[in-house]
Amino acid sequence: GAVVSQHPSRVICKSGTSVKIECRSLDFQATTMFWYRQFPKQSLMLMATSNEGSKATYEQGVEKDKFLINHASLTLSTLTVTSAHPEDSSFYICSASPGDRTEAFFGQGTRLTVV
Amino acid sequence: DAKTTQPPSMDCAEGRAANLPCNHSTISGNEYVYWYRQIHSQGPQYIIHGLKNNETNEMASLIITEDRKSSTLILPHATLRDTAVYYCIVRIAGGTSYGKLTFGQGTILTVHP
């Protein structure tokens, strides 16, 4: 149990367009999910905490108007990269944890390339 | 959460044990040691965690020193599929969801045929 799934796994978009990435907890409910970003040859950096039914909280330096997060149900959080630019090209990963587990479960990641 | 220090890279021969060290000298009494790994272009995967006793599961063993200032992750019989970046993370139990983690640079483990 405890599966987190992301979609799409890979996306290419044109500069200036918006891209939506979905993160789903398949077999548990998650009131909180987390979004990370990973640039090539770097470690994962936490971007924001997605809270079901309320506003997301963003880490310092992450633009909330550029990275829109919606957590409308207990099994789905979405990250929308608005007006994407080439520097937004990165590997985006979400995580969540069931209430009865003490470890994190991660999605397979989404490779975003902005051209 | 306490800071951890890991060697940037390690090599291991296939079939041999891989021993990955981690220093966490500022660890607090209520902080656990977690290990995750990330295979190239995938999301991280949980391996094991412990507080002060040694732990073993189907993937690995975790040895924590008596003073808890360091630990070693042991992959008993490394395979090529164990080639990955291994992250040692220290965090408190409870509080914020366990999905929230602070990643360091980790150790790149390369398993050779």
pLDDT tens, residue by residue, A68-95: 999 989 999 999 999 999 999 999 999 9
- 3-state class (DSSP) for residue B88: strand
The mean pLDDT value for B105-113 works out to: 97
The mean pLDDT value for B32-41 works out to: 96
Considering chain B, what is the average pLDDT of its residues?
Answer: 94
Can you give the pLDDT at residue B2?
A: 67
**Residue B34 contacts A where some CB pair is shorter than 8 Å:** yes
The mean pLDDT value for B52-77 works out to: 96
Q: A95 to chain B: which residues are within 8 Å by CB?
A: 43-44, 99-101
Is the distance from CB of B113 to CB of B14 less than 8 angstroms? Answer: yes
Is the sign of the CA dihedral A19, A79, A112, A47 positive or negative? positive
**Residue A35 contacts B where some CB pair is shorter than 8 Å:** no
The mean pLDDT value for A10-17 works out to: 97
The rounded distance, in Å, linking the Cα atoms of B19 and B60 is 10
The rounded distance, in Å, linking the Cα atoms of B2 and A99 is 23
List, for residues A92-112, the tens digit of each pLDDT value. Answer: 999 999 888 889 999 999 999
Largest CA distance in chain B: 43
Q: Which of B36, B43, B99 shows the shortest C-beta gap to A108?
A: B43
